[in-house]
Amino acid sequence: MGVNVKILKLKMLYESAARANFSDPFRRGQLIELPPKGDVLVSGDLHGNEANYEAIVERADLDAHPDRHLIIQEVTHVLELGPDTSSIVIESIAKLKCNHPDRVHFLLGNHEHAELTGQEVLKGGLCLNILFRNSLINQYGDDADNIRESIYAFFRSMPLAIKCPNRIFLSHSTPANAYLGNYRFDFFTQSTEDLWTEPQKPLLYHLLWSRDYEPATATRFAKLVDADVLLVGHKPCKKGFLVPNDTHIIIDSKDKNAHVLPFRLDRSYTHAELVSLLEPLDAPA
């Protein structure tokens, strides 16, 4: 049997994207530390919404803005009834990362974590992990498992957090107060090899899955990471964003109310100023 060139090219794409993640010049361990120049466009959870992803890429217009960074998160699994098309968006992001290796940053989210760990995610009585695997079988047939492992290797290469020079910190979520005592800042600067070891598994889980937005918890975590504002995703937001306290801003980009957050890296912002910069994805750039 001859080599399937399409499958071979796709595997090479994910390998290249994973290498680009690890060799990101702004990366230290699991942390991206952005420079004090240019600007950034932050999106929230996408969950396979291809149209919103394309609109975000168009809004970022990276080719025309060489000092702009684009932050993407939580693409895996489709939450609405219907086929899971999220692997199409994952492939597109891998290509984008290869084209802009030092300016596209895909944060690890809990749904990527669920795929990597085998933790089932149930919505409306359906297992999203099974729907994701079925979608790969429909696309790639006997090569589905092979492609899935390449996607998983890409997931494992993703950073956990992004620290901006203006004291803004981004991660998919933040730990609950009950577990904060177990964290140190060097959790974010450790190697990927160490991150996936048994002692680190609970810390990784609580960082990605918790939803504790109590003001005291937010203040405590912000102090731990030396930040003033925490930008996260993870929680569905009916109007495309949520401001649960004076430290967190939650961004959601998965549906018709999708929002994004653009801001500069060479100036400081208050929490209130950043909230005022939130804009609907369908707003004029």
Give residue 51's pLDDT.
96
**pLDDT tens over the chain, length 285 residues:** 566 899 999 999 999 999 999 999 999 999 999 999 999 999 999 999 999 999 999 999 999 999 999 999 999 999 987 889 999 999 999 999 999 999 999 999 999 999 999 999 999 889 999 999 999 999 999 999 999 999 999 999 999 999 999 999 999 999 999 999 999 999 999 999 999 999 999 999 999 999 999 999 999 999 999 999 999 999 999 999 999 999 999 999 999 999 999 999 999 999 999 999 999 998 554
Give residue 81's pLDDT.
76
Angle of CA points 259, 240, 113, to nearest 5° = 90
Residues 6+ away with beta carbon under 8 Å from 151: 14, 87, 90, 115
Q: Domains in the chain, start-ordered, CATH in brackets?
A: 5-276 (3.60.21.10)
Q: What 3-state DSSP class applies to 153?
A: helix
Name the residue type at position 73: Q
Phi/psi of residue 173, nearest 5 degrees: -150, -170
Element spanning 112, H or E: helix 110-117
**What is the dihedral sign for C-alpha 273, 276, 282, 285?**
negative
Give residue 125's pLDDT.
87
Q: Which residues, in sequence order, are bridge partners of residue 241? A: 251
- CA gap 35, 171 in Å, rounded: 17
